Chains A and B, each alone.
Chain A
Amino acid sequence: MKQQKELKNIKNTKNVIFYGLIGVLAAVTLASLIIIIGYILVNGMTHINFEFLTQDPKRMGKEGGIFSVIIGTLMVTSVGILIATPIGIAAAIYFTEYSKGGKGVYLIRFFTEILAGIPSIIFGLFGFAFFVIFMGMGWSVLSGGLTLAIMVLPTLIRATEESLKTVPMSYREGSLSLGATKWQTIVRVILPCCRPGILTGLILGIGRAIGETAAVMLTVGGSLRLPTSVFDSTRTMAVHLYVLAAEGLSMEKTYATAALLIFIVLLINTSANLISNKLGGNNGNEI
């Protein structure tokens, strides 16, 4: 009896210690997140106003707003995502639905994984050497978009592949047994099931693309003018932030830009989630 009681006490103490430890660690994680976002927002929000959002930068960004920079950011990110999405989804479909796991596929997959771990400055260097110089695209939205596309491709492929794998075999069988072709099965049954997963991949990709600095600096350039086509050079918010801070032009504008960047990322995430839920609801997707 006594022994049992002791054992129980030890167990209880262990429980309390681990429970406490996990609680503290969770609190640290949450606190650091709140502090960072809170610090940026508190310092930045006060400087965001109508003028800041609608005017182009003046005197290298010391004065004026960041309108052209916002547009530049959105353009570069959109071009990157628009190029990466179809390629990424197609690649994932090929890997999971068509390839029979040969050596070639193994190699492609292996390199895709490596691609995901390469520092972004290397992508920048490649984009600069290949798109900017070799292809003659110069510093432009297109060069940057293409570079970002290569960068977010692994994330997108991974996320799509994972969600394709969760679609039960029985859906495929059901569709094929009705006389559907493999392609019809993929387009009409499998992909709709994967929308939430693909969207998650897209959000991660957008997050990575919109906040990217090194790769973009080397491929998009740093022009402060409003870009009128994808062949123009521009400056993204992350690059603007870097330049403002590194050259000590204006701390106020730096924080304001940072706050706005966080705000935009949050906005994209929330709306993507909303869209995802809405899409799911309409089609009876409950996966």
Chain B
Amino acid sequence: METKFEIEKLNLYYGTFQALKEIDMSIYGNKITALIGPSGCGKSTFLRTLNRMNDLIQGVKIDGLIKFDNQDIYGKDYDLIELRKKVGMVFQKPNPFPKTIYENIVYGPKIHGEKNKSTLDHIVERTLKEVALWEEVKDRLHKPALGLSGGQQQRLCIARCLAVEPEVILMDEPTSALDPVATSKIEGLLEELAVKYTIVIVTHNMQQAGRVSDYTSFFLNGKVIETDKTEVIFSNPANKKTEDYITGRFG
């Protein structure tokens, strides 16, 4: 099994507050890894270290090692643009740009230099089909993306992310702002996407983690308590705290 991300002794500080403590983890290719844990346990923060989105926040300090395809992504010569191209992200709240559906999807390819109209058309069709949105929007590609429903917007955001042909997709509670129907559509999608992509998903919803993921990692107070195959975590966790959280004793 291919290891996509190798994380060793990762510490992250917001100013003087330490949000992540001594994290060691491996994330495997073409698998879905779920990060669970109570609010404020650092799972989103951890997710955002993987594509260096935390760089945007002032006062963040990181030490330790994160290797993506065996290269240190915080290394001096590492190409941040290339990293973000390969490691896409879907956010908690759907955030399509206030442009048309079409323009949203071709945004990524365009900034990376793709100009050919028919290639772009092709990308739009391919990605919208991948997220099962094509049938719903094919007649209104040039209408504002903000006119779509929340669930459609989120699938559009996933399509936008797929358009730059990433290897990994990071998802930060992608269904927490959506209704149950939209949620189940996106969950169904994850399984299909995992054939081609590696997925890391942060979720508050333990059933969701149980339903969709191959591996689950339990975070608590900035530490990884336990990482294992999802069935093991949910049926026979090694750590007492994991068991307490999963059975709903706190969280």
Contact = CB atoms under 8 A, between A and B. Distances in A.
Contacts of B98: 171, 192-193, 283-287
A168 B95 contact: yes
Interface string B191-233: 0000000000000000000000000000000000000000000
A176 B97 CA distance: 12
B145 A176 contact: no
A174 B97 contact: yes
Contacts of B131: none
Size bin of chain A's contact surface: 20 to 34
A181 B51 CA distance: 14
Contact of A283 (B100, B111, B112): B100
B53 to A, nearest CB: 6
Contact of A175 (B83, B93, B107, B112): B107
A100 B91 contact: no
Interface string B96-121: 11111001000110011000000000
Contacts of B89: 173, 177
Interface of A is mostly: helix
A193 to B, nearest CB: 6
Contacts of B147: 284
A178 interface: yes
Nearest to B85: A179
Residue in B83, B84, B97, B112 whose Cβ sees the most chain A Cβ within 10 Å = B97
Interface in A148-187: 168, 170-181, 184
B140 to A, nearest CB: 11
B161 interface: yes
Contacts of B51: 177
Contacts of B100: 283-284
A285 to B, nearest CB: 5
Contacts of B103: 283-284
Given A170-B93, A179-B85, A184 B111 contact: yes
A178 B108 CA distance: 6
A170 B98 CA distance: 11
B88 interface: yes
A178 B99 contact: no
A188 interface: yes
B123 to A, nearest CB: 13
Contacts of A184: 111
A178 B114 CA distance: 14
Given A178-B161, A179-B82, A286-B144, A171 B108 contact: no
A189 interface: yes
B112 A179 contact: yes
Interface string A177-216: 1111100100011001100000000000000000000000
A188 B97 CA distance: 10
Nearest to A280: B98
Interface in B151-172: 157, 160-161, 164
Contact of B111 (A100, A173, A188, A285): A188
Given A179-B164, A181-B81, A173 B144 contact: no
Closest 9 CB pairs of A and B: A284-B144, A170-B95, A179-B85, A177-B89, A179-B84, A178-B108, A174-B95, A180-B111, A285-B98
Interface of A: 100, 168, 170-181, 184, 188-189, 192-193, 283-287
Interface of B: 51, 53, 56, 58, 81-85, 88-89, 91, 93, 95-100, 103, 107-108, 111-112, 143-147, 157, 160-161, 164
7 contacts: A168-B95, A179-B108, A188-B107, A192-B98, A284-B100, A284-B103, A286-B144
